[in-house]
Structure 1
């Protein structure tokens, strides 16, 4: 008797909650303002964050990101506006009554207490039974891979281990929302990269909504489900990491996220599915594969990421989306090489190329005359 095989049913993965029109935000920030005297730290910010997100607030010093985080925690009171968490208005709720915990950049561990005692501190203050405290502490230390170090004091730990103790202490109380203020800032580069993936694993495993404040663009791009880019107290763009990088909505975002080459030009043609920009620096026309919907002869900026360029010694067949110049700087970075090319106008352009081959005889070097080309969909036209 033969048994017919049945192909397994493939269930399509559900779209993230922030893409679903029916999803209700877990955190809703409504027209929040925060003033310190005459200084406006946060200016009319509205933002929705959804359940189980790992959301990053990204910005430079003084952008307002930490002030916004402290208002979420209840450490600062908004001048106007309101914050809702899980549908409840938190405007007049003190920090200790919010379903929120916060992990500070300094970690703030008690030096005289063991790892286990540090993690248990908040639970004991709540008066939980001793047996439950011990179980929850043991479970969370195992989750952050510190169970074998439970009896050590903080000074006996590495920086990465102290960071995980602080994280365990924040998570052991099972908050609905965890706020992290520059959580990896004290770690060296390699350990920071490793810990980023550890944070992502924990967040996914626990299903807790994380809001992370950072000034590190790479950290935000690695961690986040979505990024809110802040500047001068305002969120200037909120999007998934690849959207923020590939489709910045203004010049500030383009320059702040990663490296970018900006060319100033004048729109000389604007159709529904294409546009042409005259740029003195490139000498040739820049063609993009979408319309701009702008005024005739409008001045715009064209952003091109360094990795979008093709660099050759031979002149391209077409003059559109091409330019030429002289290599002035070369940096070998292992996985990639960085070149700076000076155009005839004097403008310097940054190009990155992957080092696919271990030994390449045709690598570019100083004073080489080269041609640069890019595709029509590699340019982003910025009108602001």
Structure 2
């Protein structure tokens, strides 16, 4: 396929409204045997000179999915997004959208639109004209433009603000205008590059749910790039965690958080305590690890695949740890230490505890009541404990 060729996507369905969306199954598409991916990324690599930005990535994304690419600066997530949009050409590999190979297909000929972090609204145009811009360039009839612009304004809850200019809007309103402009051409795939990064925390949290509702109503496939773990956990049907140009784990948010497959993922997603130790017992349903950092034996109620006496790490989330003044009856997964610091955060309190081994551990406790029955303060001698199913063994 040459770059001069134009792909006709008109024979394929280009719009899915809420009432026309197929009935959802209790089993998501990515878990259904034989389900065809809507977006197929096959062995994509992108090099800039000697630097490899994206390194042999393969990934399947399914129709109507809201997929998040999550990673830090320089992880390759934005470069991958730009290749999907057609703004960058892969060094090797291929991209298929709805079964069509995108090799040589120009950005304007792809069934794709992209929403940038800056929103890139035209300051001299009204909200309605900003949204209509793409349709006007395509020569769509005025009556049709007016109808579709009003549909988009109503969808993003800005129906009364069509005549305003961008500078007269709040950050959240500008974000919704940019989203409406991206959706009005009815793309099959919408790419969003840090879409909420310019908003303050409270507005960002509110807008996350608006974005989910809009995506669910339209049934458009979204691929979102973000560095914000909480944002990815809130938005995504699945998350692909990226590091150094590679997707290191792809899973649903719950599984990425509860069952990270490496120390990198465990530390990148949320907060975690890691205890280094040596495997002293490895049975199909039991693992025991001797850890000098923990000052005792750690017990996990599932088996792992490792060599005898292999050095591993046990990951325990701070909210899984119980804090108490009295020593619990359990002998394993029970540590002793002293409270070095704590911070009241409203819904929870964060404690820093130095174990007898010298290792510092983070513990969080929810504040269910205004008056806490058991209070903890600086220099308190405390016991830390958790259940056998609350931790994960990491071999890499």
Q: Does 1:70 align with 2:94?
A: no
How many residues are aligned here?
A: 374
Per the alignment, do residues 379 and 83 of structure 1 end up closer, same or farther by CA in structure 2, a change over 3 Å counting?
Answer: same
What is the match of residue 325 of structure 1?
337
Q: Does 1:59 align with 2:71?
A: yes
Q: Deviations over 1:342-364 (max 9, x none)?
A: 00121100000110111124221
Q: Distance in 2 between matches of 1:26 and 1:318?
A: 50
Q: Does 1:285 align with 2:305?
A: no
Q: Does 1:30 align with 2:42?
A: yes
Q: Distance in 1 between matches of 2:303 and 2:281?
A: 9
Q: 1:247 aligns with which of 242, 256, 259?
A: 259
Q: Distance in 2 between matches of 1:311 and 1:330?
A: 13
Gaps (5+ residues) in structure 1? 1-10
Q: Distance in 1 between matches of 2:203 and 2:294?
A: 41
Per the alignment, do residues 108 and 12 of structure 1 end up closer, same or farther by CA in structure 2, a change over 3 Å counting?
Answer: closer
**Conserved 8 A contact 2:240-2:250:** yes
Gaps (5+ residues) in structure 2? 1-22
What is the match of residue 3 of structure 1?
none
What is the match of residue 127 of structure 1?
139
Q: How much does 1:12 deviate?
A: 9.8
What is the match of residue 190 of structure 2?
178
Q: Distance in 1 between matches of 2:145 and 2:226?
A: 32
**Conserved 8 A contact 2:183-2:190:** yes
Alignment of 1:345-360 (within 5 A): 345-360=357-372
Q: Does 1:139 align with 2:151?
A: yes
What is the match of residue 375 of structure 1?
387
Q: Distance in 2 between matches of 1:301 and 1:353?
A: 23
- Which range moved further: 207-216 or 290-299? 290-299
Q: Does 1:101 align with 2:113?
A: yes
CA RMSD of aligned residues (A): 1.0
Q: Distance in 2 between matches of 1:139 and 1:318?
A: 61
What is the match of residue 50 of structure 1?
62
What is the match of residue 244 of structure 2?
232
Q: Deviations over 1:170-213 (max 9, x none)?
A: 00110000000000000000000000000000000000000000
Q: 1:21 aligns with which of 21, 30, 33?
A: 33
TM-score by length of 1: 0.96
Q: Does 1:261 align with 2:257?
A: no
Q: Deviations over 1:218-260 (max 9, x none)?
A: 0000000000000000000000000000000011000000000
Q: Does 1:302 align with 2:324?
A: no
Q: Distance in 1 between matches of 2:25 and 2:182?
A: 31
Q: Deviations over 1:36-93 (max 9, x none)?
A: 0000000000000000000000000000000000000000000000000000000110
Q: Distance in 2 between matches of 1:267 and 1:240?
A: 29
TM-score by length of 2: 0.93
Q: How much does 1:380 deviate?
A: 0.5
SS in 2 for 1:149: coil
What is the match of residue 162 of structure 2?
150
Q: Distance in 1 between matches of 2:379 and 2:205?
A: 36
What is the match of residue 342 of structure 1?
354
SS in 1 for 2:119: coil
What is the match of residue 91 of structure 1?
103
Q: Distance in 2 between matches of 1:113 and 1:364?
A: 58
Q: Distance in 1 between matches of 2:298 and 2:360?
A: 17
Q: 1:79 aligns with which of 91, 110, 116?
A: 91
**Conserved 8 A contact 2:294-2:359:** no
